[in-house]
């Protein structure tokens, strides 16, 4: 379940992996490669809902 701060949803690497049906290691690799935006807030890396939607949109456009 995402964490909401000031009406912005944040997903952990594990939650993002579950939503995309990929492994957490792949999510971390996408962040490292710049394909997916994530921010380290304290210890965990968090991905905003917008960053996730942008990533999904880019993937949909490249499959055409």
pLDDT of residue 58: 79
- Report residues of the chain scoring pLDDT below 50: none
Whether 41 contacts 30, CB under 8 Å: no
Whether 19 contacts 52, CB under 8 Å: yes
pLDDT of residue 37: 96
pLDDT of residue 63: 60
pLDDT of residue 2: 84
pLDDT of residue 36: 97
pLDDT of residue 1: 83
């Amino acid at each position: 379940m995402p964490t909401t701060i000031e009406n912005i949803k944040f997903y952990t690497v594990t939650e993002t992996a579950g939503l995309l049906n990929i492994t957490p290691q792949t999510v971390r690799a996408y962040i490292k490669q710049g394909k997916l935006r994530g921010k380290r807030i304290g210890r965990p890396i968090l991905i905003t809902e917008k960053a996730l939607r942008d990533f999904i949109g880019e993937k949909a456009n490249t499959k055409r």
